[in-house]
């Protein structure tokens, strides 16, 4: 499917992406309303977040530039020290920005 590169085409693409995102969210809620949440499903759901996080971070740690690696280390150190994700993310973003600025 190709859309013309016009304001109407861009708007159509945005609306279609928003619709797909909404349907994915609603579909997930509907599917999970039919699945009984037993111990096995609960373990799967709890493990999924960590697995996705590792899948996103590992390529950045292996293939990233020094700024990306510094951001990962800063995020890890602040998270271990404070146990506050917002502070850890802010430290990672700030360290990457400072590295690239210098």
Nearest to 92 by CA among 80, 20, 29, 41: 80
44 burial class (0-12, 13-18, 19+ CB within 10 angstroms)?
Answer: exposed
Tell me how far apart the alpha carbons of residues 83 and 88 are, in angstroms, rounded to a whole number: 8
pTM of the model: 0.57
Q: What are the sequence ranges of the domains in the chain?
A: 54-101
Tell me how far apart the alpha carbons of residues 61 and 76 are, in angstroms, rounded to a whole number: 12
**pLDDT band at residue 95 under the 50/70/90 scheme:** very high
* Amino acid 63: pLDDT: 93
Longest dimension (CA), the chain: 53
Mean pLDDT calculated for residue range 48-66: 88
Residue 72 has pLDDT above 70, yes or no: yes
Q: What are phi and psi of 65, to 5 degrees?
A: -80, 175
């Amino acid at each position: 499917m190709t859309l013309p590169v016009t304001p109407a085409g861009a708007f159509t693409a945005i609306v279609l992406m928003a619709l797909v995102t909404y349907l994915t969210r609603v579909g997930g809620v509907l599917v999970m309303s039919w699945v009984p949440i037993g111990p096995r499903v609960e373990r799967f759901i709890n493990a999924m977040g960590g697995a996705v996080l590792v899948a996103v971070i590992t390529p950045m740690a292996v293939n990233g530039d020094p700024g990306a690696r510094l951001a990962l280390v800063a995020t890890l150190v602040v998270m271990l020290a404070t146990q506050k994700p917002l502070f850890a993310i802010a430290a990672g973003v700030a360290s990457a920005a400072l590295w690239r600025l210098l």
